[in-house]
């Protein structure tokens, strides 16, 4: 029975508006977890279609650099006239 409430507490802050709407519109004591997850999946699809959320923004972007080593030799002149 508390699974729905625990699930709603674990949702990220950027979803807080949707969580508030669900809490106000639904009876959480009788709301099945499957219905809640379905509702949230539909909301996520709407956000993705609107361009608000994309899969690339949810993952960490990684940049890699290729480094090349260049070996240079300095010429030393030995001008010692002994």
CA separation for the pair 59, 54 (Å, rounded): 9
pTM for this structure? Answer: 0.56
- How long is the chain? 82
Domain boundaries of the chain, sorted by first residue:
3-58
Mean pLDDT in consecutive groups of 10 residues from the start of the chain, 82 residues: 85 89 92 92 87 56 60 67 54
Give the pLDDT confidence score for residue 58 in this predicted structure: 47
How far is 15 from 41, CA to CA, in rounded Å? 12
Distance CA 42, CA 38 (A): 6
What is the spatial distance between Cα 65 and Cα 74, in angstroms, rounded to a whole number?
28
Nearest to 11 by CA among 41, 31, 32: 41
């Amino acid at each position: 029975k508390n699974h729905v409430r625990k699930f709603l507490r674990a949702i990220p802050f950027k979803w807080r508006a949707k969580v508030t709407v669900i809490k106000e519109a639904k009876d959480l004591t009788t709301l099945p977890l499957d219905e809640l997850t379905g509702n949230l999946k539909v909301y996520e699809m709407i956000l993705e279609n609107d361009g608000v959320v994309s899969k690339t923004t949810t993952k960490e972007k990684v940049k890699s650099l290729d480094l090349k080593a260049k070996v240079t030799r300095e010429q030393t002149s030995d001008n010692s006239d002994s």
